[in-house]
Structures are given as C-alpha cells and as structure tokens.
Amino acid sequence: MNLLEDLQFRGLVNQVTDEDGLKELLNKEAVTLYCGFDPTGDSLHIGHLLTILTLRRFQLAGHKPLALVGGATGLIGDPSGKKAERTLNEQNIVEQFSDKIKGQLSRFLDFKGETSAKLVNNYDWIGSMSVIDFLRDVGKNFGLNYMLAKDSVESRISSGISFTEFSYMILQSYDFYELYKNEGCKLQIGGSDQWGNITAGLELIRKMNGQEEDERAKAFGFTIPLVTKADGTKFGKTEGGAIWLDPEKTSPYEFYQFLLNTDDNDVIKFLKYFTFLSQEEIEALEVEVAERPHERAAQKRLAEELTAFVHDEAALKQAKNISTALFSGGDLKQLTADEVLQGFKDVPSFTTETNIGLIDLLVNAGISPSKRQAREDISNGAVYINGDRCQELDKVVGNEEKIDGQFTIIRRGKKKFFLIRYE
C-alpha cells in the first residue's frame, strides 16, 4: 500500500482538499507538511497523539514534517470546537507551556536524516508583526462573509465571540503561508475541527501569491477524524481527567491500564489509528476479538505498542509488572519503589517508624477505627501485608515487610489499599 491507501485503511482520511492532486504530489516528491499544537497546557494529551502519529507516518514514507508550537496563537485561543471564550494565559506561562510541548514533540518524530523533522514556533513571525502590517498585508485578504460562514465562527455567533478569537483563523492561515513561503510546506494536517482554518490558509496562499492556477503555488489540506468511542463519547477522558503524555501527570501504568481497558467495539479501530501494525497483524487480532474476546489479545497489544511509543520499553515493563502484581497474582514484594508509587498513586498513605506493631499501625494509619476493630480484622483474615494475609495479633511490621526498602502495602478487605511510608 502507498501512504494514502494505508491512511484510508486505518480510517485516518476525513477530508482532503484535492485527493487526486495530493496523491500525485506525494508520489512525485518528498513533501514538507505541518501540524500545529497550541500550548494551552503544560502537556499534550492522548487526543493529540493521532495527529503526531500521522506526521510520523508521513515521515516514514519519506516526507518532512514540521511540528508547529503555537507560541503566538496560544496567546489568542482557537474557537474551534469551543462553546465559550477561552481563559487567556499570560505570555510567560505560554512560553513555559511551549517549551514543555517542544520537548514532548521531539520524542515522537525523527530529527535526523534526509526527512529530518523540524520544530517551529509561530511567535517567531507573528510576535514581531505590527497591527498595521497584520491588517493591511494579511487581514485585507479575508472577507467578513467568508469568515462568518466557517463552522468555528458560525457555531459561536449566537453565544458570542470576541474579535480576539475571531482573528484566530487569520493567524493560523498566515502560519500556513509563512511555512509555505519559507519552508516549502505544501500540506497542512489537523483534526476535523480544523478544516475551516486549513482551507482559509489555502485561500491566503493563493491570494498572496497572486497566481490563480500556478501548480507551483498549489498547496493542500488534510484532516483526520476526531477520536470518539463506539458510545459516542470523547476518547481520552476518564473520571480523573485527561490522559496526558507527560508521565508526571499520567503515569505509564495509568496510561497502560487506560488502553488495556479499551472496549471490544473500539479496540480494532484504535489499533489502526494508534499503532504501526500491518494490515495483516490487525486483521489477525480482529479474529481474536471475535473468537476469543476474553483473552483481550488486541487490548494487550494496543497497550503495549502505545505505552512503549509514548514512554519507552522500560516504562512498559514497569506497567506490566504493576499490572501483574495487582491483578494476576504477582508478588508485590518484587515491585520497585517507582512501581509502587505508580500503582498506588491515589491510595491513602501514612508515614510511620519501622518496627511498629500491626495493631498500632492499623489504628494510627486510620485503616481500622479502633484497636478492638483492628484485632477483629486481623483475626478474621481481612488484613493483608504486601498481598499476604496476616492473622498474627502480635505481628511487628519491620524491615522484612518493606518493598524496595521504602514502602509497605496494607490491604483491608477486598479493595481498600493503604500505602505505608517510613520516616
């Protein structure tokens, strides 16, 4: 399969401005393309990953990706898909966010070789532009009726949209023109909500070049679907919030478990979207889902491939170790301190001295409400130390009960875990 055929097999082609023309261009030359990422937070999330991976697919096919960090547009706010105005961040905050997002993007693309990726920041060309230059040189190319007809603007007319967000389309369009002019960029990709901004950029390129039909001036737009689950809800959201690409915000274990819990109705689609597995491998896993869904082979492969890509093989190994210890009868005592912190990130914790009686520990940590209840819990077999049931009323918790010399995990009943730390 060529690149476009592979993207179509994976369901990644949503809209293309000129599919035949783009196919011809991709077959004829190495194409420079770009996708923008606005620094509205200090980390990208799993929803951004689809466009990052699509850039990567183009790169593997011999094309050159530009990853644009919106240091300027991040100060404005994209109205696309939003029902109300964004809260604007101060410039120093946006600069901090930009640096962090640059670091993340640099992990997912190859910055060496003939198709070396490049990071760019639109603050470099928009930040120094005067209001007069913006209005005379760029803004004059946009008719009001043309802009009002775009979905990102039209959907906000009734609820209200400021001139600041109204101008976002012009700024993103200018990005495309700037990269077209200085980097030879002929293709912009983005999520389906970016279609209006992308086509506006193509219109600006046409007008500012002053060449109606010159093939040398022709550029293209390409969108991929927004990722939704079979039940129609947005992919990448949990009760605890978004699934982030920053391991400090979403640990590799949490990331792995999120993917491992993918519904059977979604897993094949997500394997196509998010992995580089071949068509034959994906079709074989589709058979597994249909014939042996209880084995969850497709979910395991999805979680393994994506955790290793976003984090690394060592993080994947940790995530699997934690999962085995918690859910498959593994030995908690074999976990490392880092694995304990990931696996028990959200459980109550208590700090104590070494060599403390179990009854006192249960009461002091708030695991049992009283010494009498603590004795009953121990006698009834409801207390577990590092996964092992303990019914010794005179048990002293000491160095032998420490995991990696730092933690002890107490469980009361079936599901109530407590993390014991030591002074």
Q: Are residues 152 and 68 in the same domain?
A: yes
Residue 107 located in a structural domain: yes
pLDDT, tens digit, 9 for 90 and up, residues 231-244: 888 888 776 688 99
According to DSSP, the residues that pair with 293 across neighbouring strands are: none
Same domain, 145 and 242: no
Arithmetic mean of pLDDT over the chain:
92
Domain check: are 65 and 200 in the same one? Answer: yes
Q: How confident is the model at residue 258, as a pLDDT?
A: 95
Query: What are the tens digits of pLDDT across the range 55-83?
Result: 999 999 999 999 999 999 999 888 876 77
Residue 339 lies in a domain: no
Q: Which of 57, 82, 100, 150 is catalytic?
A: 82
| Torsion from C-alpha of 14, 18, 20, 21, nearest 10 degrees | -130
- pTM flag (> 0.75): yes
Residues 254-265 have a mean pLDDT of 96
Which residues face 68 on adjacent strands? 36, 120
Percentage of the chain lying above the pLDDT 70 cut: 97
| Given the residues 54, 59, 172, 342, the one annotated as active site | 172
Same domain, 357 and 290: no
Q: What is the C-alpha to C-alpha distance for residues 299 and 359, in angstroms, rounded to an integer?
A: 42
pLDDT for the residue 314: 96
Residue 229 lies in a domain: no
Residue-range definition of the domain harbouring residue 287: 237-330
Q: Would you tell me how many other CB atoms lie within 10 Å of the CB of residue 352?
A: 16
Instruction: Classify residue 343: in a domain, yes or no.
Output: no
| DSSP assignment of 214-272 | -GGG--EEEEEPPPB-TTSPBTTEETTEE-BSSTTTS-HHHHHHHHHT--HHHHHHHHH
Q: Which residue has the tokens 């208590």?
A: 350
Instruction: Tell me how far the alpha carbon of residue 39 is from its chain's centroid.
Output: 13
Residues 262 and 207 in one domain: no
Domain membership of residue 37 (yes or no) is yes
Does 117 lie in the same domain as 48?
Answer: yes
Task: Flag whether 231 is in a domain.
Answer: no
Which residue, of 330, 360, 379, is where some domain finishes?
330
| Residue 253 assigned as binding residue | no
Which of 224, 249, 269 lies at the terminal end of a domain, its last residue? 224
Q: Say how many domains are in the chain.
A: 3
Query: 359 and 325, same structural domain?
Result: no
Residue 7 lies in a domain: yes
Residue 112 in marked binding region: no
Phi and psi torsions of 120, nearest 5° = -130, 155
Instruction: Give me the CATH number covering residue 285.
Output: 1.10.240.10
Same domain, 247 and 356: no
Residue 217 confidence (pLDDT) = 56
Q: Is residue 341 part of a domain?
A: no
Instruction: Note whether 114 and 205 are same-domain residues.
Output: yes
What is the predicted pLDDT for the residue at 212?
52
> Last residue of some domain: 202, 224, 246?
224
In the predicted structure, residue 295 carries a pLDDT above the cut 80: yes
The active-site residue out of 18, 42, 99, 193 is 193
In the residue annotation, 48 being an active-site residue is answered as yes
Catalytic residue among 15, 23, 45, 57: 45
Specify the CATH number for the domain of residue 178: 3.40.50.620
Same structural domain, 290 and 325:
yes
More confident position, 162 or 372: 372
pLDDT band at 211 (very low <50, low <70, confident <90, very high): low
Cα–Cα distance list, 104 to 20, 98, 109 (Å): 34, 10, 10
Are both 62 and 204 inside the same structural domain?
Answer: yes
E-only strand ranges, 38-196: 64-69, 118-121, 185-191
Tokens of residue 244, six digits: 């982030």
Looking at the structure, tell me whether residues 409 and 282 fall in a common domain: no
Catalytic residue check, 82: yes
